[in-house]
Structure 1
Amino acid sequence: MIGIFKPAKEVARLPESKIASAYKIYRIRVFLMIFIGYAGYYLVRKNFAVASSLLSKNYDFSNTDIGLISAGMAITYGLSKFILGNLADRSNVKYFIGIGLLASAILSIFMGFAKTVPVFLVLMILNGFVQAMGAPPCSIVIGKWFSQNERGLKMGVWNTSHNIGGGLIAPLGVFAASFALFGQANSSSIFFIPAFICILITIFVLWIGVDTPASVGLPPIEEYRNDYGDSSKLEETVDENKLTGKEIIFKYVLNNKYVWYLCLANVFVYLIRQGIVNWIPIYLQQEKGFSLVAAGHAMAIFEFIAIPGSILLGWISDVVFKGRRAPLSIMCMVGVIIATVAYWQTNNYIVTMISVGCIGCFIYGPQLLIGMSLIDVVPNFAVGTAVGFSGLCGYLIGETLADIVLGVISDNFGWNGAFIFIIIGAVFALVLLTLTLNIKKDKKEA
């Protein structure tokens, strides 16, 4: 890497007496960096969904247009995660996260001036590229600053940052739309105000963040906590050095039937998740006559209910199901189907809010548990490839179905056709998750 992204240089190690206190402070700082920073990414990713109903009203964007623009970003994002994830491994994570967020905020400002579908599509494609600078370095931070026996909880808590950002953008967008400076019901403010907030978050990230422990005079986390993992993991690391990338992909990932079951299930999980949340503002206003404020509340409920839900479901899979992810995933998917039917059929405000909350709670269960299952079915040296392949399937296929296909269906067959399509996808996910019931907890048996 060159320029500002070049990894921070190692400095002389601190005296032994200062290492413990310094580690404590820096770990708080880097966690705040990735938690608040990644929440910011969602403020300038999901604001388009909040603005979509006003774009339809003010500029005559069709549902197909909205879906095309959303899919343009999703496809770019899925592809860019592979490219930029590799670059993040060789970069200064503080600047990688900060510059990516700043670039996304600037693009959001440009969107505030856009009025046509082609311009929005280009800007959202560019936004998808820089948005991919968020998640990979955050995972790297957790790996370098937190040891193996504490990463699960830290990853689970960090993972809720996108729910917080995705949930806050709904009420923030409603406030922005009524902001007198830009005019009421003006979609521009929904892009401007989150962008200004993210510029402030960028400053915070660059101020509080650091790169690696060695760059501030600290030992590697494995040395500091004496947590080098078990012998099987060390053997797998040695094996990884003897394998080519092609061998890992084809022998240990694409040749594993459970990886295919889980990745295909993830396609339909993304169809449901994005197919519901991305269309909440338009669907509730067009079909049920909700106000922009009420639709914003529903979008916030979808995201916020997932925060305790994801943590609880992860804990249940460990404690109650003893590490077996499939049974709980299947139960969650049944709940998703029931809640989706209720959300589709009711016109009652309270039932709508309860059902959208249930969908948000249940759909993040399979998404979280699919990732955990992938870790169980491949060797450690292939986990990144398997998870990356799953994410690629989710964004390239699942979100395309949720954005473009659902937009076309709703325009041509109405929302009844769109919900039938979503429920069919949920049934496919249920069948695929059922095929994973025989996954063994021990990777070597998979």
Structure 2
Amino acid sequence: MNGNELAIGSTAKARTSWYRWIVMLLIFVVYTIAYADRSNLGVALPFIKKEFALSNTEAGALVSLLFFGYAVAQIPAGLIYKKFKVRSVFPLAMIMTSIFTGLQGLTSSVFMLKLYRVGLGISEGPLPIGCLQTINHWFPPKEKGTATGIYLAASKFGAVIAPPIGVFIISMWGWREVFFAFAIPGIILSVVWYLSVKNTPEESAMVSPAELEYIRAEQAVAVAADRPAKPKRDLAWLDRLIRAKQVKLVDTSAGIWRSWNIIGNALGYFFMVGIVNVIMSWIPTYLVSEKGFATMKMGFVSAAPFVGAVAGNFIGGLISDRLLDKRRKPLMLLTALCTSVMMYSLVYAPNDAITLSALLFMAGFLLSIGYSAFSVYAMGATTKEVYPVAYGLVNTGGQLGGAVAPLVVGMILDAFNWNVVFMALAASSILTLLIIATIDEPMNEIQAGK
């Protein structure tokens, strides 16, 4: 290398930007607020039940309506993103999410509250696809698991901040004011997103040539199947266990419906999201009605599983990218197995706040250590153009599970008790384990992008 080449290399290094991580920070903040918008109902639910004289089944239905709307929006949102791109659709979805959040505080009847919950679900539906499509374009393959883990940690962080903030607002003003307060940040963030995040890093003036080269060079390696890079470590034993193999990337929307890998992923996600939504929406009621906790104590203990979930998503993303060389399936299996154990352990949960908080923390951590893998899995099995539609299907499965589970829990509580609820959640997690065991681990991404 001559002097000129060294000078050019030094200049390129000096001008390397890290703007993709600024984008990641914005994704984290946006999805934290979005998830807080949906999880604040769990804090207000005991008070809404009392004001409108709702049964457990009716309360479960109220929770579920958001997720039915959310599920219905997934595949159409994937198609809309494919046509109009993230920058045009994402900020509008954020604004509508904030509007329907605020409207819940103005409700005068259960019927109107139900309509607003459906509207919130439909409005929020495009947000996760937009976040993941942004990650897919802005990050190289070896960072996607970490980035997706951060994104999903945001969803759990939203559920961490919602209970204590919601309890404080309720104690000072009332349950309606919770929805007013949570509506404001999304409007502001929609403007910030539109001004700051382009559809691709090529379109952004904030991305240096060196950063763009890093992103695209790594992605070019990831699709060069004819010259796969040597894996970092010998995990052949693990590959045999998880059915790792070269798979043909799904490159059409129709092909998604013929791919058991995508459909199986969606079915597994159905049960996992269902468990998360039960914890988010019903644990505050469980702590008040079953454990006899006061409102303030409930607010802090109900945040414990999501503190664990934040840590689980961060650590799970790093393990998937760094230690497992972008293998997604191992942590999916681990999460399903451990979650079944933790749900069963809640049958014997004590009334002590500290011990119960620790138990809920571990439940959230183990549930989330492989949770992000369900979302990032399709990135290794589809092309970039088809991924939004594939994730739309996966998230439709997840959100249908998230819609059904709270309603079923309400019905179980009206007929049985909380022990039956936790046994049912443990059984659904075992079913997830069996389903995920049948899908392949795409070797295309494992061997590339080192």
Q: What band does the TM-score fall into relative to the shorter chain?
A: 0.7 to 0.9
AA of the residue aligned to 2:49: S
Residues in 1 aligned to 2:79 and 2:69: alpha-carbon distance in whole angstroms: 16
AA of the residue aligned to 2:24: F
Residues in 1 aligned to 2:379 and 2:196: alpha-carbon distance in whole angstroms: 32
Shift of 1:234: 6.0
Q: Identify if the C-alpha distance between structure 1 residues 176 and 19 changes in structure 2 by more than 3 Å, giving closer, same or farther.
A: farther
Q: Identify if the C-alpha distance between structure 1 residues 312 and 259 changes in structure 2 by more than 3 Å, giving closer, same or farther.
A: same
Q: Identify if the C-alpha distance between structure 1 residues 193 and 20 changes in structure 2 by more than 3 Å, giving closer, same or farther.
A: farther
| Residue in structure 2 matched with residue 108 of structure 1 by the alignment | 101
**Aligned pairs (5 A) from 1:6-405:** 24=17, 26-27=19-20, 29-91=22-84, 93-94=86-87, 96-179=89-172, 182=173, 186-206=174-194, 208-213=196-201, 215-217=203-205, 223=213, 225=215, 227=217, 229-230=219-220, 233=223, 244-246=252-254, 248-251=255-258, 253=259, 256=260, 258-318=261-321, 324-346=327-349, 347-375=351-379, 383-396=387-400, 398-405=401-408
Shift of 1:274: 1.6
Q: Identify if the C-alpha distance between structure 1 residues 374 and 90 changes in structure 2 by more than 3 Å, giving closer, same or farther.
A: closer
Q: Identify if the C-alpha distance between structure 1 residues 350 and 266 changes in structure 2 by more than 3 Å, giving closer, same or farther.
A: same
Deviations 1:94-118 (A, max 9, x none): 4533332222222222111214221
AA of the residue aligned to 1:341: Y
| Residue in structure 2 matched with residue 426 of structure 1 by the alignment | 429
Is the 1:269–1:366 contact (alpha carbons within 8 Å) kept by the matching residues of 2? no
Shift of 1:405: 1.2
Shift of 1:194: 1.2
Identical-residue share of aligned pairs (%): 22
Residues in 2 aligned to 1:134 and 1:209: alpha-carbon distance in whole angstroms: 14
Q: Identify if the C-alpha distance between structure 1 residues 197 and 442 changes in structure 2 by more than 3 Å, giving closer, same or farther.
A: closer
Q: Identify if the C-alpha distance between structure 1 residues 22 and 122 changes in structure 2 by more than 3 Å, giving closer, same or farther.
A: farther
Deviations 1:90-146 (A, max 9, x none): 446445333322222222221112142211111011111110232222223333433
3-state DSSP class of the match of 2:292?
Answer: coil
Shift of 1:89: 3.8
TM-score by length of structure 2 reads 0.79
Residues in 1 aligned to 2:334 and 2:221: alpha-carbon distance in whole angstroms: 35
3-state DSSP class of the match of 1:311?
Answer: helix
Is the 1:59–1:115 contact (alpha carbons within 8 Å) kept by the matching residues of 2? no
Deviates more, 1:209-218 or 1:409-418: 209-218
Is the 1:114–1:120 contact (alpha carbons within 8 Å) kept by the matching residues of 2? yes
The answer on 1:416 being equivalent to 2:419 is yes
Higher relative contact order (CA 8 A, sep 6+): 2
| Residue in structure 2 matched with residue 9 of structure 1 by the alignment | none
AA of the residue aligned to 2:313: S
Residues in 2 aligned to 1:272 and 1:443: alpha-carbon distance in whole angstroms: 29
Residues in 2 aligned to 1:427 and 1:123: alpha-carbon distance in whole angstroms: 34
Q: Identify if the C-alpha distance between structure 1 residues 44 and 379 changes in structure 2 by more than 3 Å, giving closer, same or farther.
A: closer
Structure 1: state its 5+ residue gaps: 1-16
Residues in 1 aligned to 2:304 and 2:29: alpha-carbon distance in whole angstroms: 20
Residues in 1 aligned to 2:44 and 2:386: alpha-carbon distance in whole angstroms: 40
TM-score by length of structure 1 reads 0.80
Residues in 2 aligned to 1:228 and 1:337: alpha-carbon distance in whole angstroms: 37
AA of the residue aligned to 2:352: N
Q: Identify if the C-alpha distance between structure 1 residues 365 and 24 changes in structure 2 by more than 3 Å, giving closer, same or farther.
A: same
| Residue in structure 2 matched with residue 7 of structure 1 by the alignment | none
Residues in 1 aligned to 2:12 and 2:269: alpha-carbon distance in whole angstroms: 42
AA of the residue aligned to 1:313: G
Query: Alignment length, in residue pairs?
Result: 416
3-state DSSP class of the match of 1:178?
Answer: helix
Shift of 1:55: 0.5
Residues in 2 aligned to 1:441 and 1:387: alpha-carbon distance in whole angstroms: 19
Shift of 1:432: 2.7
Structure 2: state its 5+ residue gaps: 1-9, 227-246
Residues in 1 aligned to 2:51 and 2:281: alpha-carbon distance in whole angstroms: 19
3-state DSSP class of the match of 2:61?
Answer: helix
Shift of 1:47: 1.3
